[in-house]
């Protein structure tokens, strides 16, 4: 069953700024959707429009088939977790979680039952009588989630909920959020700028750029088949090597000196891309091109080699190679690489679409 | 500066003690003076130790009549002052809270204009507009009434401004969380805003109570009936004696009594007051 539908939803601010031109998205019940994009791409605005904290200027938002555009946030049956948690500082954890239910006139014994249940699930039972000021960041994060969960809403909205936590806690909470969502089966909309979070949490990803949904799909689809150079560069770390190239009779000409053989019906300007992990080190004879090493980042499990190709023409196209395991090549030395054709990504330079 | 130098300790303590003595000496003298008969001051020397007329003077002043033409006891005038001070304090806090709430959290036409108009009243304290204000109060038949004593002093830009700053520091996400939790304007005000500005209210209470208690000019103008005399203004009245001696002992007792409530308020609310000025738990 479709749970949340955004139909041509757009946002224009009173000063004329067109933040979101038009977004179409339909979310299945129980689905975990992650909105991801660089800062200023409108992902938070979109989430706030679903929440009802920003008005919807164009299009329609439906939750369970019901038009929501004019409804107050409280009437939409959604719950939101904010970036800085937005806990009521003067209330105890219990009161924080109970407040929404109290305002809805839920009887006291039911409130107590629900809060105790959720607190138990999140491991907050010990902390119920504390104030937010006496909690650590991770605990506050949990309380904020608990406050959303007690209401048993139709949709959860998360606005970069993990960005204020330290790295270790972030990983832990990420896993926990995913598990809780699976267990509760609540439709979830999650905003983040962190692509690891996006890839690991999402059933489907929405990559936003300048208010437009560049691509909507499962994390693996987006990783394997990015629709545009923007998506290709944004998803994946280190990001994909993208080089302006030209498709001719001989193949893909990525520089004056390097032409990679490929027969393709397309002719003209393209963006050629390959992920750092797909480049293969080989000997000089079989190589497609040589890389002049400029920097090496050894991470133990993998090694990132930064360098430039195409030195002769002076274009110095930067390229990153990712190798498994530790390697210690000399700076300024050359390594030879092949780019297996099955891992290429080609985009039309004009339309920015995948070929 | 945490240093362990014995001389520094001695010197700083001595300085503090001299300071305390300087401040406390007049109060001490007033206390001593109130225990001597009125005639003791005519002879030219100032007594520095308690006399024997203390209990009588204090009893008379507090419960019978203040003296020098004022027949109301000080106890009664203290009640008047208290009503006026509390009326001004609570009135000001209530009105400023509401106006700051409107200005910060609601979008309505001419919102900024409203704020600046309120702000501009800072330039028009009661002393500046005293004649027209008197006329208004007189026309409303509010002379010699508690309403007349408090109402003109209630409108306040300072408190509005203070609460505005306090409300502006409340993060927007908190407001939004409350909206999602289904808190309407009233619930938000009483459940979130009031508890969060608790320390600010306390700090303002102290300042405003003292301001209200010490009002002199306005009560002097609009009260002609002994029943509405406030304590601070009647001290002056007790001094203006045309013939005979000034009853210094009674005046000193009255003065000390006038000092008591503000001191009590400051001491009682010291902790909250400092907290309200210093920290914000948001």
pLDDT tens digits, residue range A313-336?
Answer: 667 788 999 988 888 888 888 888
A82 chain-B contacts, CB cut-off 8 A: 173, 176-177
For A173-222, the pLDDT digits (tens) are 899 899 999 999 999 999 998 888 899 999 999 999 988 889 999 999 99
Beta strands (DSSP E) in chain B are: none
**Rounded average pLDDT over A109-118:** 93
ipTM over 0.85: no
Partner A, chain B 107-136, Cβ-Cβ below 8 Å: none
For residue A270, the enclosing domain spans 241-348
Q: Which of B179, B180, B282 sits opposite A89 (nearest CB)?
A: B282
**Nearest of A321, A225, A335 to residue A284 by alpha carbon:** A335
Kindly state the average pLDDT of the residues B175-204.
Answer: 89
Residues A125-135, mean pLDDT to the nearest whole number: 90
Q: Label residue B66 by pLDDT band (50, 70, 90).
A: low
> In total, how many domains does chain A have?
2
Suggest the residue from B173, B180, B186 to mutate for an interface test with chain A (most A CBs closer than 10 A).
B180
Cβ contacts of B173 on chain A, cutoff 8 Å? 82-84, 86
Q: Please enumerate in sequence order all residues whose Cβ is within 8 A of that of A241, keeping only pairs 6 or more positions apart, or say none.
A: A273, A274, A275, A276, A279, A318, A319, A320
**pLDDT tens-digit map of A3-53:** 888 988 888 888 888 888 888 999 999 999 999 988 888 888 999 999 999
Strand partners, A289: A337
Residue A353 counted as domain residue: no
Whether B198 contacts chain A with CB within 8 A: yes
Structure confidence by residue, pLDDT tens digits, B126-158: 888 888 888 988 898 888 888 888 888 887 788
Cross-chain residue pair A100–B182, CB shorter than 8 Å:
yes
Chain A residues with CB-CB distance to B192 below 8 A: 88, 90
Residue A246: pLDDT over 90: no
Domain co-membership, A173 together with A255: no
- Is the pLDDT higher at A240 or at B30? A240
A186 and A251 inside one domain: no
What value does the mean pLDDT take over residues B110-122?
88
- Tell whether B56 is within 8 A of chain A (Cβ): no
Residues A128 and A51 in one domain: yes
CA distance A29 to chain B (A): 21
Instruction: Enter the tokens of residue A228.
Output: 């545009």
- Angstrom distance (rounded) from CA B45 to CA B60: 25
A234, A263, A289 - which closes a domain: A234
pLDDT for B282: 43
Task: Work out the mean pLDDT of chain A and round it to a whole number.
Answer: 88
The domain boundary residue, chosen from A201, A234, A267: A234
The sign of the torsion formed by the CA atoms of B231, B232, B233, B235 equals positive
> Which pLDDT score, from 0 to 100, does residue B89 have?
92
Please enumerate in sequence order all residues whose Cβ is within 8 A of that of B223, keeping only pairs 6 or more positions apart, or say none: B143, B144, B149, B229, B230, B233
Is residue A111 over pLDDT 90? yes
pLDDT computed for residue B14 by the predictor:
94
The answer to whether the beta carbons of residues B48 and B29 sit under 8 Å apart is yes
Q: From the candidates B181, B187, B194, B275, which should be mutated to test the interface with A, based on the most A CB atoms within 10 A?
A: B181
Q: pLDDT at position A219, please?
A: 92
May I ask the CATH class of domain B34-278?
A: mainly alpha
Q: Name every chain A residue with its beta carbon within 8 A of the beta carbon of B198.
A: 90
Collect all residues of chain B within an 8 Å Cβ-Cβ radius of residue A53. 176, 179-180
| Closest residue, chain B, to A104 (C-alpha) | B182
Q: CATH number of the domain at A290, please.
A: 2.40.50.140
Q: Which structure tokens are listed for B113?
A: 């204009």
Percent share of chain B, pLDDT over 70: 89
In a shared domain, residues A219 and A250: no
Contact list, A147 vs chain B (CB under 8 Å): 177, 181
Q: Which of A192, A210, A234 is the last residue of a domain?
A: A234
| pLDDT exceeds 90 at position A110 | yes
- The predicted structure's pLDDT at residue B42: 64
- Is residue B44 pLDDT above 70, yes or no? no
Query: Best mutation site among B109, B174, B175, B182 for testing chain A: the one with the most A CBs within 10 Å?
Result: B182
Question: Do residue A207 and residue A302 come from a single domain?
Answer: no
Chain A residue with minimum CA distance to B282 = A89
pLDDT band at residue B86, thresholds of 50, 70 and 90?
very high
Verify whether the Cβ–Cβ distance B181 to A83 is below 8 Å.
Answer: no
**C-alpha to C-alpha distance for A254 and A98, rounded to whole angstroms:** 61
pLDDT single digits (tens) B211-228? 888 888 888 888 887 778
Q: pLDDT at residue A157 above 90?
A: yes
User: Do B206 and B271 meet the contact criterion of CB atoms below 8 Å apart?
Assistant: no
Confidence category of residue A244, pLDDT binned at 50, 70, 90: confident
Is A268 in contact with A274 (CB distance < 8 Å)? Answer: no
Across the beta sheet with A66-67, the strand order is: A18-28, A2-12, A58-63, A66-67
Where residue A231 falls among pLDDT bands split at 50, 70, 90?
very high
For residue B179, list chain A residues with Cβ-Cβ distance below 8 A. 52-53, 72-74
- Based on the domain organization, do A217 and A273 belong to the same domain? no
pLDDT given at position B22: 93
- Same domain for A250 and A301? yes
Residues A208 and A342 placed together within one structural domain of the fold: no
Best of A47, A50, A55, A99 to disrupt the B interface (most B CBs within 10 Å) is A99
Question: What's residue A206's pLDDT?
Answer: 93
Assign 3-class secondary structure to chain A.
CEEEEEEEEEEECCCCCEEEEEEEEEEECCCEEEEECCCCCCHHHHHHHHHCCCCCCEEEEEECCEECCCCCHHHHCEEEECCCCCCCCCCCHHHHHHHHHHHCCCCHHHHHHHHHHHHHHHCCHHHCCCCHHHCCHHHHHHHHHHHHHHCCCCEEEEECCCCCCCHHHHHHHHHHHHHHHHHHCCEEEEEECCHHHHHHHCCEEEEEECCEEEEEECHHHHHHCCCCHHHHHHCCCCCCEEEEEEECCCCEECCCCCEECCCCCCCEEEEEEECHHHCEEECCCCCCEEEEEEEEEECCCEEEEEEEECCCCCCCEEEEEEEECCCCCCCCCEEEEECCHHHCEEEECCCCCEC
What are the residue ranges spanned by the domains of chain B?
Answer: 34-278
Q: In this structure, are A145 and A7 located in the same domain?
A: yes
Contact A90 B195 (CB under 8 A): yes
Start-to-end Cα distance in chain B: 30
Categorize the per-residue pLDDT at A119 as very low, low, confident or very high, splitting at 50, 70 and 90.
very high
The better pLDDT of the pair B39, A141 is held by A141
Q: At A338, list the tokens.
A: 């092949």
Nearest C-alpha neighbor of B262 from the set B276, B247, B277, B273? B273
Q: Which pLDDT does position A342 carry in this prediction?
A: 87
Parallel, antiparallel or unpaired: strands A252-253 and A259-260: antiparallel
Identify whether residues A190 and A301 lie together within a single domain.
no
A178 with A312, same domain: the answer is: no
Question: pLDDT grade, residue B59 (50/70/90)?
Answer: confident
- What pLDDT band is residue B279 in, cutting at 50, 70 and 90? low
Indicate whether A21 and A81 sit together in one domain: yes
List all residues of chain B from 158 to 187 with a beta carbon under 8 Å from chain A.
171, 173-174, 176-183, 187
């Amino acid at each position: 069953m479709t749970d949340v539908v955004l139909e041509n939803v757009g946002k224009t601010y009173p000063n004329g700024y067109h933040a979101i031109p038009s977004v179409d998205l339909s979310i299945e019940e129980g689905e975990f959707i992650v909105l991801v994009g660089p800062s200023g791409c409108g992902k938070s605005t979109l989430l706030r429009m679903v929440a009802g904290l920003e008005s919807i200027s164009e299009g329609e938002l439906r939750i369970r088939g019901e038009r929501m555009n004019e409804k107050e946030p409280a009437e939409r049956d959604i719950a939101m977790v904010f970036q800085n948690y937005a806990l009521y500082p003067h209330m105890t954890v219990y009161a924080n979680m109970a407040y929404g239910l109290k305002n809805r006139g839920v009887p006291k014994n039911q409130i107590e039952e629900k809060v105790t249940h959720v607190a138990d699930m999140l491991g907050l039972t010990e902390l119920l009588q504390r104030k937010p000021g006496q909690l650590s960041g991770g605990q506050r994060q949990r309380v904020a989630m608990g406050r959303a969960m007690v209401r048993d809403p139709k949709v959860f909205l998360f606005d970069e909920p993990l960005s204020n936590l330290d790295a270790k806690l972030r990983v832990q909470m990420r896993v926990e959020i995913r598990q809780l969502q699976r267990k509760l089966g609540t439709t979830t909309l999650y905003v983040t700028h962190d692509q690891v979070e996006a890839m690991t949490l999402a059933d489907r990803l929405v990559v936003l750029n300048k208010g437009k949904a560049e691509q909507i799909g499962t994390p693996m689809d987006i990783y394997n088949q990015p629709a545009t150079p923007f998506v290709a560069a944004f998803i994946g770390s280190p990001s994909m090597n993208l080089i302006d190239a030209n498709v001719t009779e001989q193949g893909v000409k990525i520089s004056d000196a390097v032409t990679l053989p490929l027969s393709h019906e397309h002719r003209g300007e393209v963006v050629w891309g390959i992920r750092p992990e797909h480049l293969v080190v080989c000997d000089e004879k079989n190589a497609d091109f040589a890389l002049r090493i400029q920097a090496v980042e050894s991470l133990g499990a993998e090694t990132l080699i930064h360098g430039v190709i195409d030195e002769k023409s002076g274009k110095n196209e930067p390229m990153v190679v990712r190798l498994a395991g530790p390697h210690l090549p000399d700076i300024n030395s050359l390594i030879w690489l092949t780019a297996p054709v099955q891992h290429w990504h080609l985009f039309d330079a004009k339309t920015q679409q995948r070929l | 500066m945490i240093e362990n130098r014995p001389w520094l300790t001695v010197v700083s303590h001595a300085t503090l003690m001299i300071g305390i003595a300087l401040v406390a000496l007049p109060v001490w003298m007033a206390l001593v003076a109130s225990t001597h008969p009125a005639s003791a001051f005519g002879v030219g020397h100032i007594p520095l130790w308690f006399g024997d007329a203390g209990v009588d003077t204090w009893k008379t002043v507090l419960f019978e009549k203040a003296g020098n033409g004022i027949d109301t006891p000080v106890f009664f005038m203290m009640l008047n002052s208290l009503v006026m001070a509390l009326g001004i304090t609570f009135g000001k806090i209530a009105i400023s809270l509401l106006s700051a709430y409107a200005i910060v959290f609601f979008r309505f036409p001419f919102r900024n204009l409203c704020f600046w108009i309120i702000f501009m009243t800072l330039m028009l304290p009661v002393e500046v507009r005293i004649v027209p204000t008197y006329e208004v109060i007189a026309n409303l038949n509010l002379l010699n009434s508690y309403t007349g004593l408090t109402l003109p002093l209630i409108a306040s830009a300072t408190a509005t401004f203070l609460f505005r700053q306090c409300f502006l520091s409340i993060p927007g996400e908190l407001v939004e969380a409350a909206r999602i939790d289904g808190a309407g304007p009233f619930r938000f005000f009483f459940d979130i805003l009031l508890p969060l500005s608790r320390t600010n209210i306390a700090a303002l209470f102290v300042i405003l109570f003292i301001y209200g208690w010490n009002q002199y000019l306005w009560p002097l103008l609009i009260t002609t009936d002994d029943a509405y005399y406030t304590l601070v203004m009647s001290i002056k009245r007790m001094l203006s004696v045309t013939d005979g001696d000034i009853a210094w002992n009674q005046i000193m007792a009255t003065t000390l009594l006038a000092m008591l409530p503000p001191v009590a308020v400051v001491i009682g609310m010291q902790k909250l007051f400092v907290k309200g000025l210093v920290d914000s738990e948001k």
